[in-house]
Amino acid sequence: MNPYLSVVIPAYNEEKRIKKTLEAVDAYLKTQEFSWEVLIVIDGAKDKTADVTNAFVAGKEGYRVIDRKENRGKGYTVREGMLAATGTVRLFT
């Protein structure tokens, strides 16, 4: 069954901020009664964004990581995440 809410998080060179963002999103969503998913779309980051993200989502349900090796820009990345999302309601942050 598809989740009610999909949260798409585009990320480019966010290794220093992504963990704090994911912790805040996770803390909020865990208190909700509706079903949800989080898609982190990494846009060809040149730092350790993918490593930090993958470490955070390891073993957690409801998370997906799209790790594109080529930088295509925020608009492309948001669009890719929205198209991959399965929720009835979709948002990005």
Output the DSSP codes for 58-84: TT-TTEEEEEESS---HHHHHHHHHHH
SS3 assignment, position 51:
helix
What would the mean pLDDT of 26-48 be, rounded to a whole number? 98
Residue type, 63: Y
Q: Which helix (H) or strand (E) holds 29?
A: helix 18-29
CB 18 within 8 A of CB 55: no
Match 């948002």 to its residue by tokens. Answer: 91
Model pTM score: 0.95
Q: What is the pLDDT of residue 65?
A: 98
Give the pLDDT band of residue 1 (cuts 50, 70, 90).
Answer: confident
Judged against a pLDDT cut of 90, whether residue 18 lies above it is answered with yes
